[in-house]
Amino acid sequence: MYRLQSDVLYFCLIKTLSNMIVFVNDTPVRTYYGAKVKSAVMAYFRDNNLPVKTIVKEVRDAYGNLIDMDGSIRANSKIYLKI
């Protein structure tokens, strides 16, 4: 019984942790926990039927700072693309 409960809890925890929404050009994008900027950008392309090889001129954060595609993002981060 204990084992079953812990499995259920673990499953719920993993589901909660691994689901992450970030905002690309103010559009919510579903990605996974631990994703980097480039993952969110790819997810945005995917959701908007843009080619995966679309050239990204720059990415900025909610404060207007330039950010690199390898940068880490967290849940509810807002990033803005210039393509």
Partner 1 sequence: MKKTATLLIALAIVLGLASCQPKETKLYIATINDMHANIDNFPKLAYVLDSLRGVHPDLLLFSAGDNRSGNPINDRDSVPSRPMYELMNAVGFNLSCFGNHEWDSGVEALRDVMNIAKFPFVCANVTFDDSLNMPYQPYIILEQNGLKIGVIGAIQVGLNGIPDFHPDHAAGSHFHPIEEVLPEYLFLRDECNALFLLSHCGFEEDVETAEKFPQFDAIFGGHTHTLVDSTRLFNGVMVTQALNKVKYLTLNTFTFDKNGKMIAKESQVIPINKQKNIDPAVKSMVNEFNNNEVFLKVVGYNDAQIDDCYECLGCYMADAARALAGTDMAFQNYGGVRFDTLGVRPVTLKDVCSLDPFDNDLVVFNMTGQEIVDFLGVSFFTDGGPNYCSGCTYTYSVDEQGQMKDCQVKLDNGKPLDLKKTYKIVMNSYMSSAFKFQHEDPGTDIFRSSNEALIQYLTDHQHINYADKHRAIEK
Residues that bind partner 1 (CB under 8 A): 14-20, 30-40, 42-43, 45-47, 49, 52, 61-63, 65-68, 70-74, 77
Closest to partner 1 by CB, 5 or 16: 16
3-state DSSP call for residue 5?
helix
* Amino acid at the residue 77: S
Closest to partner 1 by CB, 1 or 66: 66
Closest approach, Cβ 70 to partner 1, in A, equals: 6
Closest approach, Cβ 79 to partner 1, in A, equals: 10
Is 53 buried (19+), middle (13-18) or exposed (0-12) by CB count in 10 A? exposed
